[in-house]
Structure 1
Amino acid sequence: MNFAVWNVRGINKAPHQKELQNFISSNNVNLMGVLETKVKSDNALGVSKKICRDWKWLFNYNHHYNGRVWVGWNPSVWDISIHSMSSQVITCNATFLEKNITILVSFVYAFNDAVDRVPLWNYCLSLSTTTAPWYLLGDFNCVTSLGEVSGGREHWTPEMQSFTDCLANCGLDTVRTVGNIHTWTNKRLASPIFKRLDRMVANGVWFNSFTKGNVFVKPRGIMDHNALLLKETKRLLRQLNKDHGNVSSNVLNARANLEEVQLRMINNTDTALLNLEKDLINKLNATLVEEESFFLQKSRVKWMELGDGNNSFFHQQCKANWNCNKVLALEDNLGNMVITEAQATSLCAMVTDVIIYATLKKMKKNKAPRPDGFNVEFFLATWSITGVDFCDSVKHFFETGFLPSSTNSTFISLIPKVASPTVMNDFRPISLCTVMYKCISKIIAARLKLIMPSIIDIA
């Protein structure tokens, strides 16, 4: 169930069409809202077929000459019927065929003027009594607070309160979002402004039905808006956890199966049982390794590598933390910048997927899980599932300089320095950061290593 929305600000030109095609294919999107297309009604079918030939499409040209909202979907994944539409929104009854789940989805492109947005707020209020899971996504052309604005001389306005009141009166909450909250930029180098104009919100029925839903803010590329993507990667990860997660139970089951076969071998030693015993021994050994690795992550005790399997000890605690230092400028005694423009450019240059994966592979293994619960081995083992999002997030940092608080989160714990600690001096603090943060810092450190000899005096 991957669906998305993107204000493309015109898709008449081939580069914008190609960008949209790449986004849909690379993220496996099967339901899409395309906003501000600037395509005339006579050309809508032709342009939409260039984007996704096998998709079906809805347009709102009957309500606005510019067809401000398009909705496209893969008919093999979704069954879509129109609920209602206006110049600012298309609402659909969307049935996800694989699970036979029907939801109400509203793709929104609000007008720029606050007065013109009032009918949209009233429309939302009229739908708020629905008993179906209801999801609204798109460009609302308004922020809820000054915290969603960066740059410029923004000040509080009544339209912010109107938008906030609309969400509250409709019982709508913002779905948990991963990535940069500022989804729009004016692209002005002299006076850049960033705002959260695009968002996904849902009613209580939706949150009760889809507790694992997350929205990913994707890089905007050549557009001035970021795309928003609701992605169902957790379904694959939950299956992975189901297959390998309950390590202690797996050990008990493997041992029980082996003992059963060995009891049958007391009076029967045919080849089939011998081969079965061999397979079960290998399976038990594998589950024992998984169990020991699991408890190693839980305890962060390095001497377990020497073979100690005292599992009861390793159940006690998980420890993590991080520490971040940010260098804004380097000057000499006269106040002159000591880093050249070329060096500064190299520090901020974009990274490739190859560099990110190579850096991840070089990171130390057998470390405790990060604050988000994941370690290096997890990402390497699930790279086919998580790799694209991991690389996109790292590259997003080098593109915008923005690091989400979830990536920046830490745990801090005290570790005894002596066998029987009694006073605070007997402890030392340790910290772990997230794998993504560690990967970013290692890439930056590798770049700094190349220029440090030129900025540090040999004395």
Structure 2
Amino acid sequence: MGGKNTEKGTTQNIRGFNDPIKQQEVRGYLSRNKVEVFGLLETRVKQNNFATIIRTFPSYSVLNNYTHHYNGRIWVFLDNRRVTWISSSGHDQLIHLELLHHISNKTVHVSFVYGSNDATHRERLWHELRGLKPKVTNWILMGDWNIVRAMEERIGPNPPSITEILAFNQSLLDCQLEDLHSFGCEFTWTNKRDTTTIIWSRLDRVISNSLWMGHFPNTQVNVLPSGISDHSPLLVSIHDHYQQKRRFSYLNCWEDHKDYGKVVKEAWDIPVKSNAIHRLFPRLKNVRLQLINIHKTSYSGISGKVKEAQQYLHDYQISVQTKPLDSSLLALEQTLLQTYLDLKKAEKSSLTQRAKIQDIKYNYAPTSYYFARIAARKHQSIIGKIKDRHGIEREGMHVVNHAFIDYYQWLLGKEQGAFVTGRSIFENIMLTQSLIKGYGQQGVSPRCLINVDIKKAFDSLQWEFIGKMLQQFHFPEQFQRWIMGSCLVYMLIQIKQIYMGGIREGIKQEILRATSYIEGELPFRYLGVPLNEGKLNKAMFADLITKVQREYSGLLLSSPGDFWNYEESHRKLIMKSWDSCCTLYQEGGFNIKEILAWNKSIICKWIWEIVKHSDSSWTTWNYTYNIKYGDFWTLQKKSTHSESCRSILQVRDELLEMVGSGANMEALLHGCVKKGCIQLHLLYDQFRRKGSNIS
């Protein structure tokens, strides 16, 4: 479980450590988990037996607090081979250590806590923690606190005292400490009684300050089953830092910037040559870049800017008293005051938004507590442990990421064409065309295809921001109501229809009765593309053709000068052929793409996918059922091939006529590959009409 990029610490309350069986259990636990630091609590071992027991742990040096408590309530085991001990201090409820963290080469402060059962005695612990706060940097605390932080952290009779809970939370607030996110068991202690008197409680926890969360964001706390004790062990793993790409987050305070509206409008109005949906994303990107510039110049390091503005204002207010009646100085003071207030407002807005703290309208102060809350909120989103598809637990950011991806690649398989790098959703369309080939024929093997509709919506957006953006760009009010009224989180999986082939009518009816599905008829649409078991005809594409005609209606005729030259001096129109219009500008044309040539270029992309044996279901299907043990370059067209397969073979034949052989064709395709991707514009240049360059 451990490794060269992971360091581990743990703590557990094990009452009665004189028992050899418990000692053996602990040795096995430390060895299995490769623990460097271990805090053992409530040993109930007399001091004269201490040396005898620790000799059975030869790999560890052991500290204790017998000088502060006669029972030595806390023992700390240190593996000197992997941890460097710098200093330590003791207390009857605490042992505090300063250690050298080997992975980061940073000094860390670790406190092992065993809080008293008596609330009055615990006040001494809270006082000790407040005294340690100014002396530490990266600080983590773990152990049995003997008190919960909330009423819901305890189940059973004798509820905890609200006063004691508030005292605990206040001490953590004073020390600016926050719980580290944990996974595993919800409760850490039970009295193991019958159901009428049993108590479950979360007495053990791991806490840290914001500096720790900043330097060790991949710290994970696993609450394990209690085993030989009535307390669960807390296993803390510190993984090597995994730097994630920072996400863009919109901050509401940007809207108060004096240039906000102007910058957003100018960025949005940058011309983008594309259709409506393809213009959206470049425009959003332009807006994002300009907002980032605003942030860098005006809001980056906002707390530091607030302090500077405050100091500048105070200094100026002192100096202005030398000329108290100078109106220009008084006006400048008001300007400085407004600058300070604007920065203060932006700071509060930023921190509130980042920390999700909605209750700081009063008594607001940008202390490290708020930064701790921000760090804690970020830490809560970390998935520290996961079971892979084989049921084996995986831990650590790198390992969890790989396990997650591996699981969904296994679950979705190569059939997942959308939203996967290097895949195209069109592969799914062509594969489906191949699958339904022959569905209407007699004598085919029994088969069925189910059309599933999955609808999703994610509430991960700031809808307040979306509403403001819709208003900013003057979307119609009715459209705004539609968008803002649909902010729901839902996932609906709906079986739309089932298509069957080669199945006897009686069995078909039994399937329909058992499933309550509706039998569909071919052709049908998949991702907007008509699919049929036979040949596709023009009528099947009527809706698509109408949509294209509607989209580009009048476009070609809106600027007649694009298709002929008008010579004013001779009052004469010079007509140009369509062929010449499809040549490059330097060849006297208008660089209009020739549809047939562009279509052949796209088909060449799929030829390349077959030739290079790409890792996709569509390619695997072709090699399994079409090419088999033959050669793609010599494969003959068959009636069993789908329309897409026949089109690919037709273009292949044209290419072979052009270049002579499959080897030459592969070389041509390879020459069109840049950075691992085939470039369509280079392929298009092989098929387009070419004219003579004009001077």
Short-chain TM bin = 0.5 to 0.7
Superposition map of 1:187-336 within 5 A: 187-190=192-195, 191-232=197-238, 234-235=239-240, 297=409, 300=412, 303=415, 311-313=423-425
Whether the 8 Å contact between 1:296 and 1:314 is mirrored in structure 2 is: no
> What are the superposed Cα offsets for residues 77-129 of structure 1, whole Å, 9 maximum, x if unpaired?
01113332111100000112354221000000111000000010011111122
Q: 2:491 aligns with which of 413, 417, 423?
A: 413
Residues of 2 paired with 1:296 and 1:85: CA distance?
Answer: 50
Whether the 8 Å contact between 2:40 and 2:76 is mirrored in structure 1 is: yes
Q: 1:25 aligns with which of 28, 31, 42?
A: 31
Aligned to 1:443: none
Superposition map of 1:26-425 within 5 A: 26-50=32-56, 52-190=57-195, 191-232=197-238, 234-235=239-240, 297=409, 300=412, 303=415, 311-313=423-425, 413-415=491-493, 417=495, 419=525
Distance 1:177 1:11, change over 3 A: same
SS of structure 2 residue aligned to 1:214: strand
Aligned to 1:372: none
Residues of 2 paired with 1:309 and 1:127: CA distance?
Answer: 50
Tell me how far 1:54 sits from its aligned partner: 2.1
Given the two structures, how large is their TM-score scaled by the length of structure 1? 0.54
Tell me how far 1:414 sits from its aligned partner: 3.6
SS of structure 1 residue aligned to 2:226: coil
Whether the 8 Å contact between 2:109 and 2:136 is mirrored in structure 1 is: no
> What are the superposed Cα offsets for residues 177-211 of structure 1, whole Å, 9 maximum, x if unpaired?
01112101111124211111100000111011111
User: For residue 211 of structure 1, what is the amino acid of its counterpart?
Assistant: P
> What are the superposed Cα offsets for residues 283-316 of structure 1, whole Å, 9 maximum, x if unpaired?
xxxxxxx9xx9797499477459xx99814399x
> What are the superposed Cα offsets for residues 413-434 of structure 1, whole Å, 9 maximum, x if unpaired?
3457564799xxxxxxxxxxxx
> What are the superposed Cα offsets for residues 140-162 of structure 1, whole Å, 9 maximum, x if unpaired?
00001111101224154210110
Residues of 1 paired with 2:50 and 2:13: CA distance?
Answer: 16
Aligned to 2:259: none
Distance 1:167 1:302, change over 3 A: same
Residues of 1 paired with 2:161 and 2:527: CA distance?
Answer: 54
Distance 1:412 1:3, change over 3 A: farther
User: For residue 27 of structure 2, what is the amino acid of its counterpart?
Assistant: Q
Whether the 8 Å contact between 2:103 and 2:240 is mirrored in structure 1 is: no
> What are the superposed Cα offsets for residues 225-266 of structure 1, whole Å, 9 maximum, x if unpaired?
00001124x549x69x9xxxxxxxxxxxxxxxxxxxxxxxxx
User: For residue 148 of structure 1, what is the amino acid of its counterpart?
Assistant: E
Residues of 1 paired with 2:408 and 2:14: CA distance?
Answer: 48
Tell me how far 1:131 sits from its aligned partner: 4.9
Aligned to 1:283: none
Specify the structure having the higher radius of gyration (Cα): 2
Residues of 1 paired with 2:67 and 2:426: CA distance?
Answer: 65
Whether the 8 Å contact between 1:179 and 1:218 is mirrored in structure 2 is: yes
Distance 1:416 1:57, change over 3 A: same
Tell me how far 1:219 sits from its aligned partner: 1.3
Residues of 2 paired with 1:3 and 1:420: CA distance?
Answer: 54
SS of structure 2 residue aligned to 1:128: helix
Distance 1:313 1:76, change over 3 A: same
SS of structure 2 residue aligned to 1:19: helix
Residues of 2 paired with 1:147 and 1:58: CA distance?
Answer: 35
Distance 1:126 1:12, change over 3 A: same
Whether the 8 Å contact between 2:142 and 2:206 is mirrored in structure 1 is: yes
Distance 1:116 1:300, change over 3 A: same
SS of structure 1 residue aligned to 2:55: helix
Whether the 8 Å contact between 1:137 and 1:198 is mirrored in structure 2 is: yes
SS of structure 2 residue aligned to 1:135: strand
User: For residue 178 of structure 1, what is the amino acid of its counterpart?
Assistant: F
Aligned to 2:280: none
Whether the 8 Å contact between 1:295 and 1:314 is mirrored in structure 2 is: no
Residues of 1 paired with 2:8 and 2:186: CA distance?
Answer: 20
Aligned to 1:6: 12
Distance 1:30 1:299, change over 3 A: closer
Query: Unaligned stretches of 5+ in structure 2?
Result: 1-6, 245-401, 428-488, 497-524, 529-695
Q: Percent identity?
A: 32
SS of structure 2 residue aligned to 1:46: helix
SS of structure 1 residue aligned to 2:219: coil
Aligned length: 272
User: For residue 227 of structure 2, what is the amino acid of its counterpart?
Assistant: G
Whether the 8 Å contact between 2:151 and 2:159 is mirrored in structure 1 is: yes
Query: Unaligned stretches of 5+ in structure 1?
Result: 242-289, 316-410, 423-459
Residues of 2 paired with 1:79 and 1:311: CA distance?
Answer: 49
Residues of 2 paired with 1:92 and 1:143: CA distance?
Answer: 24
Residues of 2 paired with 1:412 and 1:162: CA distance?
Answer: 42
User: For residue 168 of structure 1, what is the amino acid of its counterpart?
Assistant: L
SS of structure 1 residue aligned to 2:67: coil
Whether the 8 Å contact between 2:93 and 2:114 is mirrored in structure 1 is: yes
SS of structure 2 residue aligned to 1:53: coil
Tell me how far 1:214 sits from its aligned partner: 0.9
SS of structure 2 residue aligned to 1:38: coil
